[in-house]
Homo-oligomer: A and B are copies of this chain.
Amino acid sequence: MTTPEKCFEQLCQHVRQTNLLTATQALLEWDQQTHLPIQASEFRSQQITFFAGEIYRRQTDPRVGDWLGELAQTPLAEDPHSDTGSTIRELQREYNRKTKLPQALVEELAGLTSRGQTIWVEARQKNDFALFAPTLKQIMGLKKNQAAAWGFDDCPYDALLDEYEPHTRTAEVASVFEALRVDLVPLVAEIADSGIDLPIDILERHYPPAAQRKLALAASRQIGFDFERGRLDTTHHPFCTELGPHDCRINTRFDDSFFSTAFFGTLHEAGHGMYEQGLRSDWYGLPPGKYCSLGIHESQSRLWENLVGRRLSFWQHFYCQTQDFFPQALNDVALTDFYRAINRVEPSLIRVEADEATYNLHIIIRFELEQELINGNLEIDDLPLAWNDRYQQYLGLSPPSDALGVLQDVHWSAGLVGYFPTYTWGTLFASQLVDQATEDLGDLDLLFRLGNFRPLQQWLKENIYQRGMQYSPRELREKVTGKTITHQSFMRQLREKLAPLYGL
C-alpha cells in the first residue's frame, strides 16, 4: 500500500507536469501579444486550442480525483492552512469545478466566446449593439448553464463570482459596493462643485517613448520588480503574465502625448508582477505557491499604481529623475503642479481612462448589471438603456453612443462574468493594507521620500505573497488586517488626499 506522502508526491508531480504546459501556453499567448507576425495568428490559435485540450485532459484526469480522495482522510489534509492541507483543499476545489462542467459546454463556450470577441469588435466599430446582442444572449445563457453545473446556494451569480474570488458571495459584494457608492457619488459631486479643475495639459505634452520606457524600467526596478526574473515589453493592451517560477513579464504601451498611460500602467503591472515574483517558487503552480484570488492580485497592482504611485512622497523622491528624462516637457513644471495633475478626479465615460476615484463607479455599474443579467432581473435587450441610466445616475453622464457605453469592454464577449467586481474588491483591500502597513512599519512617507520601498515590499512578501493560497481571500484579509472588507480605508485615504487639492 502506498503511503499518504507518496500519494501526495504523485499528485504534485502530475500538477507540476501540467504546469509545464500551462506555462508554455502562457508563452504562446505572450508572444502572440508582443511578437507574432501578422500572418501567423491562425496557426497560433491552433496551438493554443490544442494545449487547452491537453491541459483540460490532465486537470480532469480521474487519477487526480483518486489521489485527492485518498488524501482527504489522511493527516496531510488535517490542517487546511498547511502546505499539504491547502494543496489538497484547493486542488479538490479546482478538480470539482473542472469535472462538473460537461465537455460539450466547455467546448461550446470556448467556440462562442472566440467568435464573440470578433463580433464584439465589429459591433463596437459600427456602434451597433443589435449586432452583438444575439451572441451576448447566447453567452449569458451558457454562463447560466455553467453556474447551474457548478451549483450555488443563493443565486447563480455566486457560482460565477466564485471562479475569480473564491468563497465570496454576491450579497457581500453588493452590500460593500452599495456603501461605497453611497459615499463616493457625493464625493465626486463635491469635487465637481468645488469650482476647481486641476489642469492636466502638462501630462499631454510630448513624451518620447524611448525615454518613457527608460523611466518605466527605472521606476519598476526601484519599487522592487526583479529584472533577473522578469522583463518589460511593449504591447497594445497592458498585461502581466507569468511564464515560469522565475519569468514574470510585464507589458505596457507608450502614448507619446500622454504621460500617465505608460507610467502608471507599468506601476500597475509591476505590482502584479512583484506578487508573482514573491510567491514561493518551490511550490510553483501548486496552491502554496499560487496567487490567492483575482481580488488579492488587484490589491497589489492598485496599491503600487495609486496608493504609492500617486502619493506626494513618492514624487518627492521621484520627480527629479522624471524631469531629467523629459527636460523639454517638465523643466518648467513644479512638483506640486505635476502632483495635482496626476490626481485629477473627473467623471468620464471610459473605464480604462478613469481616475482613481470614479473608476470604482464604472465597476459598480458593471457588477450590478451583469449580476442582474445572470440572476434574471434584466434582459439583454434592455441592457443599453440600463447602462446609460446607471451612468447618468452615478456619474452624471449620458453615453452618446453604445460604442462609448455598453460596448466598451471586451470582458462579456470573452465570457468573463464575475470578473469585474474583483477590480474594486482589490482596490478596497489595497487601502486596508496600506493602513495596516502604516501601523506595522510607521510613517510610509518617510520611507518613500528617501526612495525606500523595500520595507513595504518585504511586508507584502511576508503577509501576502508568501502565503499563496494557504488561506481563502477572506481569511487572508482578516489575518493581515484583522478586519473584514469595507470601503472605509479607501474613502478616508481618498478624501485625505483630495481635500487639500480641491479645497473640500
| Residues of A bordering B, CB below 8 Å | 17, 20, 23-24, 27-28, 31, 35-40, 42-44, 46-47, 50-51, 227-231, 233, 243-247, 284
Chain B residues contacting A51 (CB-CB under 8 Å) are 24
Chain B residues contacting A50 (CB-CB under 8 Å) are 17, 20
A284 to B42, CA, bound (A): 13
A284 to B39, CA, bound (A): 14
A223 to B37, CA, bound (A): 19
Nearest B residue to A23 via CB reads: B47
Nearest B residue to A47 via CB reads: B20
Contact A39 B246 (CB under 8 A): yes
A38 to B47, CA, bound (A): 26
Contact B245 A37 (CB under 8 A): no
21 pairs, CB–CB < 8 Å, chain A vs chain B: A17-B50, A20-B46, A20-B47, A20-B50, A31-B31, A35-B231, A35-B233, A36-B247, A37-B228, A37-B229, A37-B247, A38-B229, A39-B228, A39-B246, A42-B246, A43-B244, A43-B245, A43-B247, A43-B284, A44-B247, A47-B244
Contact A229 B20 (CB under 8 A): no
Pick the contact of A227 from B27, B37, B46, B284 — CB < 8 Å? B37
Shortest distance in angstroms between A241's beta carbon and chain B's nearest beta carbon? 13
Chain B residues contacting A43 (CB-CB under 8 Å) are 23, 244-247, 284
Pick the contact of A24 from B28, B40, B230, B233 — CB < 8 Å? B28
Contact A244 B40 (CB under 8 A): yes
Shortest distance in angstroms between A217's beta carbon and chain B's nearest beta carbon? 14
Pick the contact of A37 from B28, B44, B46, B230 — CB < 8 Å? B230
Contact A24 B23 (CB under 8 A): no
Shortest distance in angstroms between A277's beta carbon and chain B's nearest beta carbon? 10
Contact A229 B46 (CB under 8 A): no
Chain B residues contacting A233 (CB-CB under 8 Å) are 35
A43 to B27, CA, bound (A): 13
